[in-house]
């Protein structure tokens, strides 16, 4: 599949790091960020690459040449005047049409990533989508573009940073990685032709062709992709893999630390993952019995800090929670989703995020007024059964033997053990009278989620002797 990498930005916010070279050539742990992108693509068979350049573009072209030194075939489009972040695509239309695939990858050169592109492309093809957006949770959703979808992943709304957003929202952020059918570009041009907002570019792709192009600048999000929201043609591909913007010095240094620690590479879903599975009520939020009202949801004081530490460690942070109130008819699926949106919003405000939320809506007992008959059965996902953990393990390629289940009840502990995980129990009884291997129940106990997370990440038991397997 053809890959187009947009590398024409000026990188003004990060100019203080290296103002004499273009942003894609800024080294991350000794290697230019764009070289890391190309290595990730090449290793997965994506070797046909077009790079659009502008600001100091000659330096990018000199460094990468025809791509043969990097195991790829690279060509370029040099924007002599600003065309917007999608204008070059139309100048490249002739060259792109020679690709055997009807879709292409479109990436930003100012993002740092290490992802399984084959999974992304497979999701695009399975959905028969015209556009697939790579989306992920991040530590600053409040100033990021949010993507809202239907249950099947179809994009219904795309909210930019400046757009008003719901009070509570899912931490699903557009990462600037796309799979796009070429016909989407053609449809856009047809619409412009009807309004006569097109012109002829006599330079064309290779300097010797004439190409019909949009007048002025073209913005990828505003002009081409956002209008597809709600059409059923554009889907989100949610993934916890490593994609980070390095647009500011602070974020650049954070990326460097992640590479030094091996976190960026390890989060590629082609590699086995480690997770900390978290119960919800009594672990992340204040326990108030079965929560039926969103106003009753309140984060525990240390919850955001604990989740943030998990995020920074390279472990996935995944909630697994029994919610029998749905089967009882006391909370609808929509109301539960809004409670979880509140949880994600509050965590995001404090720089923390969840990589996944799994819930069991079932309840085996009948006799509740308003109960939902179709949800009243003995399921495989209700803790202490391990169904939710097993589903997450399949979705995210998780090695359960290297993962943890943490909660505030023996039900959580048993679910973790049944899944083959290490287990942690939030408890005020933190006695060291017995070694963990001799003590029935959880492998670790602690008075708070933060305390347990610290012990898990530092490999210490209640007495300071536990070695993380």
Which tens digits make up the pLDDT trace of 202-255?
A: 554 444 455 677 777 888 999 999 999 999 999 999 999 999 887 788 888 889
Q: How much is the pLDDT for 197?
A: 62
Condensed to tens digits (0 to 9), the pLDDT of residues 267-284 reads: 999 999 999 999 999 999
Confidence band, pLDDT 50/70/90 cuts, at residue 39 = very high
Which residue among the candidates 281, 355, 412, 443 is catalytic per the annotation? Answer: 281
Confidence band, pLDDT 50/70/90 cuts, at residue 439 = very low
Q: How much is the pLDDT for 129?
A: 98
- Quote the pTM value: 0.89
Q: How much is the pLDDT for 440?
A: 53
> When comparing pLDDT for 10 and 373, which is higher?
373
44 pLDDT more than 80 = yes
- Residue range 292-302: average pLDDT? 96
Lowest mean pLDDT among 162-166, 388-392, 412-416: 162-166
Q: How much is the pLDDT for 238?
A: 97
Q: How much is the pLDDT for 206?
A: 47
3-class secondary structure per residue, the chain: CCEEEEECCCCHHHCCCCCCCCHHHCEECCEEHHHHHHHHHHHCCCCEEEEEECCCHHHHHHHHCCCHHHCCEEEEEECCCCCCCCHHHHHCHHHHHCCCCCEEEEEECCEEEECCHHHHHHHHHHCCCCEEEEEECCCCHHHCCEEEECCCCEEEEEECCCCCCCCCCCCCEEEEEEEEEHHHHHHHHHHHHHCCCEEEECCCCCCCCCEEEECCCCCHHHHHHHHHCCCCCEEEEECCCEEEECCCHHHHHHHHHHHHCCHHHHCCCCCCECEEEECCECCCECCCCCCCCHHHCCECCCHHHHHHHHHHHCCEEEEEEECCCCCCCCCCHHHHHHHHHHHHHHHHHCCCCCCEEEEECCCCCCCCCCCCHHHCCCCCCCCCCCHHHHHHHHHHCECHHHCEEEECCHHHHHHHHHHCCEEEEECCCCCCCCCHHHCCCCCEEECCHHHHHHHHHHCCCCCCCCCCC
Write out the two tokens for 290: 């079965």
Lowest mean pLDDT among 61-65, 143-147, 200-204: 200-204
Which residue among the candidates 238, 279, 355, 412 is catalytic per the annotation? Answer: 279
- Residue range 3-7: average pLDDT? 94
Catalytic site residue 281?
A: yes
- For each of the domains in the chain, give its residue range(s) and CATH number, in order of start: 3-243 (3.90.550.10), 272-458 (3.40.50.1000)
Catalytic site residue 279?
A: yes
């Amino acid at each position: 599949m053809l890959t187009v990498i947009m590398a024409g930005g000026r990188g003004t916010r990060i100019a203080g790091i290296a103002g004499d070279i273009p942003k894609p050539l800024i080294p991350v742990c000794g290697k230019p960020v764009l070289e890391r992108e190309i290595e990730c693509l090449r290793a997965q068979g994506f070797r046909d690459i077009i790079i659009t350049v502008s600001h100091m573009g000659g330096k990018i072209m000199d460094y990468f040449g025809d791509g043969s030194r990097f195991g790829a075939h690279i060509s370029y489009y040099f924007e002599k005047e600003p065309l917007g972040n999608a204008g070059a695509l139309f100048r490249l239309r002739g060259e792109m049409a020679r690709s055997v695939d009807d879709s292409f990858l479109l990436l930003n050169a100012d993002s740092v990533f290490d992802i399984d592109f084959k999974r992304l492309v497979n999701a695009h093809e399975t959905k028969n989508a015209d556009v697939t957006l790579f989306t992920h949770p991040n530590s600053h959703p409040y100033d990021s573009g949010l993507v809202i979808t239907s249950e099947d992943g179809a994009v219904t709304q795309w909210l930019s940073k400046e757009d008003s957003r719901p009070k509570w929202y899912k931490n699903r952020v557009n990462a600037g990685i796309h799979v796009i059918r070429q016909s989407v570009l053609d449809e856009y041009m047809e619409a412009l032709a009807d309004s006569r907002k097109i012109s002829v570019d006599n330079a064309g792709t290779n300097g010797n062709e004439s190409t019909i192009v949009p007048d002025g600048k073209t913005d990828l999000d505003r002009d081409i992709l956002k209008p597809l929201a709600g059409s059923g043609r554009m889907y989100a591909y949610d993934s916890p893999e490593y994609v980070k913007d390095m647009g500011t010095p602070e974020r650049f240094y954070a990326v460097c630390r992640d590479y030094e620690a091996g976190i960026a590479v390890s989060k590629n879903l082609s590699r086995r993952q480690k997770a900390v599975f978290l119960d919800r009520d009594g672990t992340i939020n204040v326990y108030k019995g079965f929560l039926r009202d969103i106003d009753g949801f309140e984060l525990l004081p240390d919850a955001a800090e604990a989740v943030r530490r998990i995020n920074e460690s390279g472990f996935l942070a995944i909630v697994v929670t029994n919610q029998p109130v749905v089967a009882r008819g006391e909370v609808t699926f929509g109301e539960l989703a809004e409670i979880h949106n509140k949880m994600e919003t509050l965590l995001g405000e404090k720089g923390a995020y969840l990589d996944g939320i799994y819930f069991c809506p079932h309840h085996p007992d009948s006799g509740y007024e308003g109960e939902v008959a179709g949800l009243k059965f003995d399921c495989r996902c209700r803790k202490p059964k391990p169904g939710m953990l097993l589903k997450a393990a399949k979705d995210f390629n998780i090695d359960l033997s290297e993962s943890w289940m943490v909660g505030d009840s023996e039900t959580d502990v048993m679910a973790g053990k049944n899944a083959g995980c290490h287990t942690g129990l939030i408890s005020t009884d933190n006695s060291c009278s017995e070694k963990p291997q001799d003590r029935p129940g959880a492998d670790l106990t602690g008075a708070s989620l933060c305390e347990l997370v610290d012990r898990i990440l530092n490999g210490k038991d209640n007495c300071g002797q536990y070695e993380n397997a």
